[in-house]
Amino acid sequence: MNFTDILTRLWSRKFSGVVFVLLSIVVGSFYLRAATYTYTTELVLTPAEQNAAKISSNLAGLGSLVGLNLGNGESSGFAMYEEAAKSYAVAVKLSEDPVIMHKVFEGLWDRDYKTWKEPKSVSSSIIGGLKYILGIPRYRWIPPGPKDLQEYIRKSVVIRDDKIKPITTVSFDHRDPNFSIYFLNRINAEADNFLRQKSLIRSTEYIKYLQGRLNEVQVVDYRQSLLDQLRFYERMRMMANSDISFVAEVFGGAEASQRPTRPRPSIVLVICIALGLISWTLYALFAEMVKNAISQIRTGGTK
């Protein structure tokens, strides 16, 4: 069977093709009516201190003279932003905000009784019964907490680094664009503060260490190296104690799309039409095979 034969057989069943395509479009329209439309919110960030990496790089060679490997210390803060934003420590802080918890897990929050409720469904009841019969342990349901919020952030929040420019874009899809803006701003604030506190503690410890070494080292070159390192970490501690952005500086603020970005009706309809055409093709070929098989059986029976 060549390509021309296939087209001929498809054309002979063109009316069934119309039916398949129309049914696919109907299914797609029902999906679009039932789907939850989400908006995409983006937060563009830049390194809060552009010169930190350069200063740290210049001091790396000096630090090696006194037994310190500090070349990638504070300058790696912006590179650690994604890990901080999706860390458990940040999730703990965010879980203390009822606005976030009630919105993220709104299906588990009872607005009337102002309490968390265990989800009930037929499938969960069946699974629970099977576990009981099979002797599988059944654990007590607990309300959502920091760990659940951390998993939600890891799955829902996307952080992309620009390969050319020192820019990081944080994006989040949700049906409520106002909440998306609030959520990303809170994540950014807590992640920045988390790295700020870690840097403050580390800088303070380095300062104590360097001050102790200054009292011990007498060589002029070594003392100058220690003084340069000390000035750098004094500067980092001063920055960590300030109220301005420490690692990630917001570039323009969080912005939500004016229209829903998912699902896209045009793409859904194109996919439905394509599936309808594929279904029609498979049906036509299968029907032709069945027809030929029946014809051969009848021919063999007559002989």
Does a structural domain hold residue 276? yes
Does a structural domain hold residue 275? yes
Q: CA–CA separation, 237 vs 207, rounded Å? A: 9
Does a structural domain hold residue 184? no
Task: State residue 72's pLDDT score.
Answer: 45
Q: CA–CA separation, 266 vs 277, rounded Å? A: 17
Q: CA–CA separation, 247 vs 84, rounded Å? A: 11
Listed residue (149, 143, 83, 84) closest to 109, CA to CA: 143
The DSSP 8-state label assigned to residue 140 in this structure reads: P
Task: State residue 151's pLDDT score.
Answer: 98
Does a structural domain hold residue 288? yes
Distances (CA, A) of 295 to 11, 287, 288, 301: 21, 12, 10, 10
Task: State residue 10's pLDDT score.
Answer: 76
Does a structural domain hold residue 250? no
Does a structural domain hold residue 54? no
CA neighbours closer than 13 Å in the CB half-sphere of residue 165: 7
* Segment holding 109, helix H or strand E: strand 109-110
Domain that holds residue 271: 1-6+13-34+266-293
Q: How remote is the C-alpha of 299 from its chain's centroid?
A: 63
Per-residue pLDDT of the chain (303 residues; tens, 9 = 90+): 566 777 777 777 888 889 999 999 999 999 999 999 999 999 999 887 644 444 444 444 434 433 444 444 444 556 788 999 999 999 999 999 999 999 999 999 999 999 999 887 666 767 777 777 877 887 788 999 999 999 999 999 999 988 888 889 999 999 999 999 999 999 999 999 999 998 899 889 999 999 998 888 888 888 888 898 899 889 888 888 888 888 888 988 899 999 999 999 999 999 999 999 999 888 888 888 888 788 788 776 555
Q: CA–CA separation, 170 vs 253, rounded Å? A: 11
Task: State residue 77's pLDDT score.
Answer: 55
The b-or-e profile of 27-47 (16+ CB within 10 A means b, else e) is ebeeeeeeeeebbbbbbbbbb
Does a structural domain hold residue 19? yes
Listed residue (43, 89, 47) closest to 198, CA to CA: 89
Does a structural domain hold residue 194? no
| Total domain count, the chain | 1
Rg (CA), the chain: 31
* Residues 199 and 236 sit within 8 Å (Cβ to Cβ): yes
Listed residue (183, 157, 152) closest to 170, CA to CA: 157
Q: Specify the amino acid at residue 198.
A: K
CA neighbours closer than 13 Å in the CB half-sphere of residue 74: 33
Task: State residue 188's pLDDT score.
Answer: 96
